[in-house]
Every structure is written in C-alpha cells, then in structure tokens.
Amino acid sequence: MARESESGLPIEPVYGPQDLRGWDPTQKLGEPGAYPFTRGVYPTMYTGRPWTMRQYAGFGTATESNARYKQLIEAGTMGLSVAFDLPTQMGHDSDAPIAHGEVGKVGVAIDSIDDMRVLFDGIPLDKVSTSMTINAPAALLLLLYQLVAEEQGVPADKLTGTIQNDVLKEYIARGTYIFPPKPSLRLIADIFKYCRAEIPKWNTISISGYHMAEAGASPAQEIAFTLADGIEYVRTAVAAGMDVDDFAPRLSFFFVARTTILEEVAKFRAARRIWARVMKEEFGARNPKSMMLRFHTQTAGVQLTAQQPEVNLVRVAVQGLAAVLGGTQSLHTNSFDEAIALPTDKSARLALRTQQVLAYETDVTATVDPFAGSYVIEKMTDDVEAAALELMQKVEDLGGAVAAIERGFQKNEIERNAYRIAQETDSGERVVVGVNRFQLDEEEPYEPLRVDPAIEAQQAERLAKLRAERDQAAVEVALAALKKAAEGEDNVLYPMKDALRARATVGEVCNALREVWGNYVPSDAF
C-alpha cells in the first residue's frame, strides 16, 4: 500500500526503471556544478571541504551573545548566525512601550551602533562569515555591521555573510513586517545596488521557505512560494534598472530540513532545477552563478518536542543528514532543548557536534550527490517539481507574489496544510514519538536557560545614556536627509548609514521611514 509524502504525493513501496520511462538524464541531471544544477551547485561539493557550519544564536544583551559567539567559534563553528529580539526585528527601540516584555527574549537586543560594537567585540569581521536573521530593518543591521567593521579597520570588500532581508515571507508566514510591500521592495532594490557598489561579497538576501514550513507549509508549498518570492525580487531589481547578472549571483535561499529524508533530498534537487530554468529562460541570465540556487538549511524546529526532549538529538541528526544529502551550502542544527527554551551552552555545543559527526565520521562527504540516479529520488524529485510548478503558476495567475499575498493565497494554502497535519497528529495517523505514541508517565525535570528580565531596564539605561551623549542636532539632520531620500528616488542606504554613524537608534531610523512609507496593515481578503 502506497504512503503519502509530506506534500501529499504518493510514495510507492518499490520503484524501478518503469518509473523513469522516457526520463532523460542529460536534461534532468547534468553534471554537478553545471546547469540545471540538480546535482549540486559546485562540481566537487563536499569532497573538497564540508558545508559551512553555522549556529543560530543570540539572546539577552550584546555582551551575553558575544560570549556565546566566542564559545561557538572556539568549538569549531565556521560562521556566526545572529538572532535578534522581536523589538529589533520590528524596528523598535528597547525602551519603546510596544517592546515591553520582549526585550532580549528570542534574540539579542540591538538598539544602536553601541550595541553592535559590543556584539562583535573581539571577533575579527574579516575572518568570520556572519548571517543575520533580520528582514524589514535588514538595511540598518547591515550598515551597523559595516560601521563596526570600519572601526576594526576591515574594508567593506572583505566582509562576507548574509542578511535575510526577505520581507515577502513576513507577510505570508511570520509577521515581522514594518512597511507596505511596495516601499519594502524598493528598499530591497536599494540594498542590492548598495552592496554591489560597497560590499560586493555580501549575500544581499536569503529568500526563505523555512518560516513557511514552520507555519505548516508542505515541501512543495515551501519551494513554490519561496521561488515565487524570488521571482518577485528579481523583477523588482530588473525594473529598478539593474542587469540580472549584476545582482543574481549574490541571491541565496533558506530552507528547512525535516525528518522525511527522501522527500527533503528531492525537494532540494527540484528547487535547484526550477530556479536555474527560471533564471535562464525568464530573465535571460548568462552568468552560471546567476542560475545557481545556493541555500542555507536549518533543521525543523517545528518537529522538536518538549516531551522527552533528548529524542530531539536523533531528530536533528536525521534532519541534518537530509540537508547534507540534498546539497546545502551551510547548515544550522537546532539544539535539543529549543522546544522548551533558549538553548544552553551544552545543548548548542551538542548541536554543532552533530554537524561535525556528519562531516567527519560518515562517508556522505566522500562523493558528490550520493543519490543521483536513484529510482525513488529521481521520481520524487520530478513529482515535487511538478507540484511546486503548479502552485507557482497559481501565484502567477493571481498577478505574482505580491498580488497573491494581498489576496491571502499563500497564507491560506499553508494554513490548510497545517490543519491537515494537526488533524493527522491528533488522530494518531501521524506518529510523533513521545507525543502521541511512546509517551512517558512522567517527564524528567529539565532546567532551561532563562533570560534575565532586568535586561529591558539595562537597555533603557543604555539608550538614555546614548541620547544624552550624542550630538542630537547631527542626528536630526541625518534623519531629515533619510526622509528626503525616502520621499524621492535616491538610495536610502547612504543617508541611513550617516544617521546610524551619528548614533541614531534603530527605532528612530525606522520611525523616520514609517513617517514617509507608513505601516503595513494586512487585508482580510481571504
């Protein structure tokens, strides 16, 4: 009896040559590092060196997060990945009334250049690659990073890393948006232009399916809606006068890795193939790097359980293996206790060790694309690709990603799938170890990491001190210049950088833009 995949596609008990009848490997596969990149974006993949091992971290104050980063670097992590608290993600200062109770809770609080200096104190920014999970205010955090690098004597052309900067998925699945879609897309185009001129090695956007998956999207929905957002960003940049090959090589993506290894591998392969064809056929890209879908992966936080949390160590290892077999460029493995609270030092180290075991103790890095030619993988790749293309066409029929967002299409589709998953879990049809099967009568006690609530008051004191010390007139002049640029067509990142250098806060800069562009209010179209 056939089972169904996470995308609702049939999984047969046995696959064979009949499932690939008429299947042309030259069209479907190619060679590793060559169009259509089904087998990976680089010819040697992990046989030369493993993926970048990132650990997503950030909590409380910049001082506490800085200490965690140094521990991770000492433990062997290859790249930093910064988590910001909700006020920072929403463009509010820590002393804003709306920030009350959220300061430092789900990430580090960054209010100004003063905090950014502390966050990266003693960390050489020309030696590390830094990913920053920030979207609506991404330009601000990137500029603060650049300013701190300049103070370290590191030129901008030596900086490497990524800003997530994917605001469209915020309207779909996450909600940390600030401005309406049109000015948000304008800001993203300004970032593309600025980085091409000023920070050429920086990945200007990480187009993200991870958060859609966490909200309940199936693998096919995850890649369909993510790639549709990517198409919208490319169209925006081209409409702003950029040549596709001037910015597309710096685009990157961010996906989830679930415990369903086979479909996840197929998903990653299908995503690479679709994107390569879109970039070549729709946008006329000539540079092969413009056609490469390079992506970061994070293991599936939504699949972790608070019940018997140590079982999450097994889940994360399986999810990490799926990402590696799928050809990820970098990977974050979740800590086993994240369903309970922020990870402890020990659990974060164990999560990194999981990646190191995969890289150095298994043989999955010995050969490029181990699953190529597998009957099941190639058939599942075709099936996921077909399902994703069908969804992408529905988005196009509605007028593209933004128009579909305004109709609530993607959000509605994801919620339908999330409801299906919840029903299957509640009925026991979908087994979740420790939750609806193999439970314990009594859970063992666990002491989670807790964020000190005094952080909010400490950040407020830092802000009061900053405002008392800085040249307020210079801040006001800089903010006025920023508003003027936002009202016109000039690139807003240059006056924004001047304002941040003058010690304007994240909230003040975002408020200046709010005055010009307004706040986004979601519709109730669906």
| Contact of 243 with 199, CB cutoff 8 Å | no
The dihedrals phi and psi of 87, each to the nearest 5 degrees, come to -55, -45
Last residue of a domain, one of 410, 427, 444: 427
64 with 26, same domain?
A: yes
* Domain match, 254 and 330 both: yes
Same domain, yes or no, for 359 and 484? no
In a domain, 136, yes or no: yes
Query: For residue 525, is it within any domain?
Result: no
Give the residue numbers spanning the domain of 497: 455-517
What integer pLDDT is reported at residue 452 of this predicted model?
83
Residues 136, 510, 512, 497, Cα dihedral to 10°? -90
Same domain, 37 and 182: yes
Count of CB atoms situated within 10 Å of the CB of 41: 20
- Give the residue from 183, 156, 242, 171 showing the smallest Cα distance to 212: 171
Distance CA 260, CA 12 (A): 15
Tokens of 201: 């090695």
CA distance 301 to 256: 9
In tens digits, the chain (526 residues) has pLDDT values of 578 999 999 999 999 999 998 888 888 899 999 999 999 999 999 999 999 998 777 888 999 999 989 998 898 887 888 999 999 999 999 999 999 999 999 899 999 999 999 999 999 999 999 999 999 999 999 999 999 999 999 999 999 999 999 999 999 999 999 999 999 999 999 999 999 999 999 999 999 999 999 999 999 999 999 999 999 999 999 999 999 999 999 999 999 999 999 999 999 999 999 999 999 999 999 999 999 999 999 999 999 999 999 999 999 999 999 999 999 999 999 999 999 988 888 998 999 999 999 999 999 999 999 999 999 999 999 999 999 999 999 999 999 999 999 999 999 999 999 999 999 999 999 999 999 999 998 887 877 777 788 999 999 999 999 999 999 999 999 999 999 999 999 999 999 999 999 999 999 999 999 999 999 988 754 4
Rounded CA gap, 263 and 384, in Å?
8
* 442 located within any domain: no
Q: Are residues 508 and 388 in the same domain?
A: no
Flag whether 436 is in a domain.
no
Is residue 31 included in any domain, yes or no? yes
- CATH no. for residue 320? 3.20.20.240
**Is residue 364 in a domain?**
yes
Whether 323 and 215 map to the same domain: the answer is: yes
- Using an 8 Å Cβ cutoff, are 96 and 511 in contact? no
How far is CA 151 from each of CA 62, 117, 120, 155, 156, rounded to the nearest angstrom? 17, 9, 11, 9, 11
Asked, for residue 435, whether it belongs to a domain, the answer is: no
* Residue 130 and residue 214 share a domain: yes
Residue-wise pLDDT for 149-183, tens only, equals: 999 999 999 999 999 999 999 999 999 999 999 99
Residue 322 has what pLDDT? 98
Nearest by Cα to 36 from 384, 361, 279: 279
| Statement to judge: residues 340 and 476 lie in one domain | no
Q: Is the dihedral of CA 470, 471, 476, 482 positive or negative?
A: negative
Residues 481 and 358 in one domain: no
pLDDT of residue 1: 53
Please, where are the H alpha helices in 86-180? 86-89, 113-119, 138-152, 168-169
CA dihedral 57, 61, 67, 68 (to 10 degrees): -20
CA-nearest of 416, 430, 325 to 370 is 325
Residues 178 and 60 in one domain: yes
pLDDT, position 305: 97
How many structural domains comprise the chain? Answer: 2
Contacts of 74 (CB under 8 A, 6+ apart): none
End-of-domain residue from the set 427, 447, 477? 427
How far apart (Å, rounded) are the C-alpha atoms in residues 53 and 512? Answer: 37
Q: What DSSP string runs through 51-89? A: PEEEEEE--BSHHHHHHHHHHHHHHT-SEEEEEB-HHHH
Rounded to a whole number of angstroms, the distance between the first and last alpha carbons of the chain is: 37
Q: How many residues does the chain have?
A: 526
* Burial of residue 268 (number of CB atoms within 10 Å: 0-12, 13-18, 19+): buried
Joined together, the tokens standing for residue 84 give 């910001």
Residues 130 and 195 occupy one common structural domain: yes
Distance CA 349, CA 332 (A): 12
| H/E element, 130 | strand 129-133
Pairing state between β 3-4 and 10-11? antiparallel
In a domain, 448, yes or no: no
330 and 474, same structural domain?
Answer: no
